[in-house]
Structure 1
């Protein structure tokens, strides 16, 4: 039994379908009244309700065909239908025209020519064209308009006589026969698809198919196990890969970071779609987890990381920006130094953006998470040569142990094939560490030929106002409140603060002020309250080299929270997450 939904654009066809419903076998069908986009909405819902086929007419059928994946049968305008209407309008003395979609005008125009009737025929491709065409016909003296429902409705609105081309029983019976044929073919195709889908589901490799609009149209079982479709569909890296493959019409391969893992993805163009084949990068075996920080990887791919650009009008930051431009013209290593939180990674990313095709990865090595022997594992897997097109950023290189420093120097010295582009960052006392033997002299000399020093925020206070406005503008899309600026006295308070955690701390404070401000401007009293909270953990931290276990449980708890908050650069969200509590609980316990 074929389960069919008939969507009819006018009531007369609805009544005719009810009569035919009693006569036919092999069909179980429901009838709904809906024209054009109303019909599309009904069809979309029907697709999820187990219907095998949809039957409709004219422009409604054309729109439904684009919106659903099950067969859609168009009740064609037959020669009988056209002859019936032409016979009707032949007695009119007024000028007449036929206006409609091609499934109506094609046959009607032919019959008019055969019968030598002076009836103008115009074809539309979308319903929005009807009003303009009919208005123009009216100016040229046409008074009778023959067509489908949308044409007739518009004609009446313009004061013209509208004549609907209705479907007779012959056309409906032809449509039902076509529905039977389509159902048989579609059922066979569904069986074939099910077979191929079961084969793909047995494949251990994740496979996803996307259309040219970067929307997922199919994922095999392994794909759905590894990824949530929204994560993949919203990945900027994958969108760029699909766009490039669609444009070049050639196979592309790329390494992409998804779900804390690196995936090598092969993209193949396939008749209007892009098939993506995912293979986990072997270097993931070397991405280890360390102690309590097991959630963080020693290596991260950031092919499309969003960064706030370095900003400021001070002479020192303008010097940094000039050095970034200067060092971006070559692929030589750059050593970026400065205190924690003052934008070293922003400078590294700025160099990466200026040097590279953004399809190439920005690879971050977290120095404090690398273990002994791990870099050797990378060398065995030829990891650095595989990703030599990208930039490798060694973050906090001064945190490397002596053994790993030697491993890294060996890699840099044996870089004979593809030239690896190195960027590194550290604190600003590296010369002292080299002199004292804490840091390897040869590694420092090799990677430190080009240096950038970013001074702390307290030494470039004239940049604070500019940074505040940058942060406020970046927060609007995230929170969407009405803050547009800051009062002069509140700004002066922020400028006079020493910012021990530099730009990162300023950013966190502005975000907190932005969220809690109910007016258009950040006020002085809000700034004073937030900075007072910042100073409390700083003062406590001076006396806390370890947790004092002699106090009450509440006192010990507050010490732990304060210590974690300090280690997370006063970022309450990070501290709360690390402690396993929410931000409101953390705030309450600090009072």
Structure 2
């Protein structure tokens, strides 16, 4: 079945229509059916998929009330009526004109022009047609001009009858109108379906009412929230479906209401109600409903997935333990930085807690719900740095994962990437990193397309990057790109007011870890900690306290628990380990601990410069990192 079907009330019209369709290479079916028979034909066509029906006269009138698709009328022109009078122009008696109004309308004018005497009968019910035609006989009428039903009945009763046909122009006009309506209808159906799909697949419930308070739309999410079927409620008064609804109030006032929390069944719903205003007149109201319970559950799942991957920031500003004024200034500055989206460079010696600040800034920012990806640039071998940061596609290099791999920048999308020890990135990779930061897009190794990313960059270093720039070891343009906001984290030696507070925190932490009862610091131990020179900052203090808690045999940490031989061992000059041949002066340590302690001391004496320490030790930087990390 074609989209457009022409139903002709009589055969001649059908034949003319077929010729026109053939001449114009149109895809339209033509069927014959008059009045009630035509209605049956039309209903079957619509059932089979027809979208537009064309007909004329009384058949058109009956069909348009019987089907739910557009019906186009083949309209009768003055020329069509004139052709109907063609054979009776010289007739001197009275002529009957019988037919449906839309066929014989205008016949009086034509008859007047031709100086003909007519008697017009308007038909509107096919069952009454024979009786009405018979009445013309009593008026001495022998000639009838009419539509198909008038023509057929007059002929049966012995009248001389002539039919008002439709000319080629009228048929073609109706076909073109049907094509136009079909095109518009398809566009509207596409729009309607697009809107329906959008409405049904958004996470918010959506409901709308017209200016009389009747429900006009109710999407799938709204069905779930309210437990109602849209098919049963659309077209009903909104207050009959949802008691105490405020949508009718909005319809009166025209004032929108946003983010109103209400309880619906077992869920908390955030509701927005917005008036539809056209030409300063309220034409309806749209309400959206967001299931907060569901949103919270989705957020929980997302954060759970991020936590499994390790891409989540655990610490917040409240987790930073301090009472010193210098730290108060530092934290307030960091809080201001969290309100911005600009790159941050955190400067500080090893162990001051640079990542703690990076995580806190992330968690206080508008990216807190996104991933936090921490990268230790010194821990990744230079040969793997590019693939780790930017990812690669299948077959990019020997040993590459067959499915390719996302880079860390991709994984940080919509969140924060923390580039710790950024000064360790080799010069040859700094140019590509700069391009990523400038263009906000990455290209995986072996790929030819870019991937757009939305990432905030926080970097950290324990080196003097300005000096590295002057030495040609760090790109100046990259330095300015990452150093928009600068945060200096003070050394522990600069914040001695915090030492005891931190020590007590670590005591509590490790007492619980090692299942020790209440432990406190002796006065002597506290004084020692206050006077100690912390080269490793908070991290070193934490290590001292962990060892002391582990060794402590009473409920109080004494100075001997802190000042054991290991401290002296780590503070000796490295040459003493080899120049002193008296083994009884060397602490009794395992080879593993001896190696780790020696490496740590060399790194410390190199001010944390792993490249310099690696040259002295004769090993690469990644080996240093691995050995220091092993327990």
Say yes or no: TM over 0.5.
no
Using the size of structure 2 for normalisation, the TM-score is: 0.40
Asked which structure has the greater CA Rg, the reply is 2
